[in-house]
Amino acid sequence: MLYREAGQFKSSYAADQQIFPIRQDRIAVGAVLVFAFIVVPLTADQYWLSAILVPFLIFSLAAIGLNLLTGYAGQLSLGTAAFMAVGAFAAYNFLLRVPGMPVLVAFVLAGACAALVGILFGLPSLRIKGFYLAVATLAAQFFIVWALTKFGWFSNYSSSGVINAQKIEILGYRFDSPLSKYLLTLSIVAVLALAAKNMVRGTVGRSWMAVRDMDVAAEVIGFPMLRTKLSAFAVSSFYCGVAGALYAFCYLGTVEPEGFNLDLSFRILFMIILGGVGSILGSFLGAAFIVLFPIFLNSVAGPLEHAIGVKLPAGLMSNLELMIFGALIILFLIVEPHGLARLWQIGKEKLRLWPFPH
């Protein structure tokens, strides 16, 4: 309905292959960016910035990372949180141990460290597939968290194993207010999301999808299995690593390895299942849902008690939340295996074809 595409024709491949070939999409994306970079900073309060938007962005980034691996390359991973942990601790150590290390460089290096670890744990993917691989990634989850807890060097011998993220300073500007952290996170996430989008619509993305859809054929047309899968692990882990660093530096400020537990990995997996496997947009939608939904349930619980005057059993909401999440996962897998992103896609198609149904 809102899409008026008549007259939008492409006279070059460059125009045809741009990220958003439809003008209305470009306008919408522009509007979202304006909203995120200008409207939000002007209107959002601290709570929204630091408790919802920043984690939402960080989880989106992690979800993109997982989506690249699982959604695009078809390699199910349950170790996302561990790669985030690698990123968080690596960034901390780079800043701690290399004098004068710029923060952004540290983030990139943190991603690189996570990528290396990802490659290491991706090696088994050459021989094993499917949930065998999923189980193998659990090894990464448990081992990495254990190693970070166990070897004091990683946490600078902090007695508790907790690390305190250093202050973020870029070109003399201190990022310590929630707003500045939000803008920093937003910028990094926007850039990386764009890069992810570029990758998935380029050769490397096609190589991942090829391996996912039909690995023998992928190899036959010349995608080396080893390099392709490992590149997926590396890039995915890079994203998770950067997300982990942001998680420590822009969100919590202090983290302990146990914070990057299996539960977090599952949470991110849920984001992509609900949001949309194999979709960058889905990563954002899923993250938004998983971040907001519990908060929503939680914040209605108290007022609800007041309103109806009945004391709800302790934990009711939290248990319901678990059940609803579980049920939603199943529901989505049954009804719409491609998640919210597909629903969005369908809605958009409908709008494009409106008033026709097909």
Q: Which two tokens stand for residue 284?
A: 């954002």
202 lies in the site for other proteins, by CB under 8 A: yes
Residue 326 identity: G
* CA max distance for the chain: 67
In the bound state with other proteins, the residue whose beta carbon lies nearer, of 100 and 356, is: 356
By CB under 8 A, name the one of 109, 114, 210, 245 that touches other proteins.
210
Smallest gap from Cβ 265 to other proteins, in A, equals 10
Rounded to an integer, what distance in angstroms lies between the CA atom of residue 296 and that of residue 298? 5
Count of residues in the chain: 358
Q: What three-state secondary structure class fits 351?
A: helix
108 lies in the site for other proteins, by CB under 8 A: no
Q: In the chain, which ranges are E strands? A: 163-164, 169-170, 173-174, 254-255
In the bound state with other proteins, the residue whose beta carbon lies nearer, of 171 and 334, is: 334
346 lies in the site for other proteins, by CB under 8 A: no
349 lies in the site for other proteins, by CB under 8 A: no
322 lies in the site for other proteins, by CB under 8 A: yes
By CB under 8 A, name the one of 27, 33, 128, 170 that touches other proteins.
128
Smallest gap from Cβ 275 to other proteins, in A, equals 13
Of 107, 84, 117, nearest to 188 (Cα)?
107
C-beta contacts of 25-34 below 8 A and 24+ residues apart:
33/190
In the bound state with other proteins, the residue whose beta carbon lies nearer, of 170 and 319, is: 319
Smallest gap from Cβ 108 to other proteins, in A, equals 11
By CB under 8 A, name the one of 30, 323, 347, 349 that touches other proteins.
323
Of 278, 328, 275, 318, nearest to 298 (Cα)?
318
Q: Which helix (H) or strand (E) holds 271?
A: helix 262-275
What one-character-per-residue DSSP string does 273-319 give? HHH-TT-HHHHHHHHHHHHHHHHHHHHHHHHHHHHH--PPPTTHHHH
255 lies in the site for other proteins, by CB under 8 A: yes
By CB under 8 A, name the one of 195, 343, 345, 348 that touches other proteins.
195
Contact 208, 200 (CB under 8 A): yes
> Which positions from 225 through 244 interact with other proteins, judged by CB under 8 A?
225, 231, 235
The answer for residues whose C-beta is within 8 angstroms of residue 346's C-beta and 6 or more apart is: none
52 lies in the site for other proteins, by CB under 8 A: yes
Instruction: Using the rule CB under 8 A, give the single segment among 41-49, 83-91, 106-114, 181-189 that binds other proteins.
Output: 41-49
By CB under 8 A, name the one of 196, 240, 245, 287 that touches other proteins.
196
81 lies in the site for other proteins, by CB under 8 A: no
258 lies in the site for other proteins, by CB under 8 A: yes
Instruction: Using the rule CB under 8 A, give the single segment among 52-60, 83-91, 99-107, 340-348 that binds other proteins.
Output: 52-60
51 lies in the site for other proteins, by CB under 8 A: yes
What DSSP character marks residue 102? -
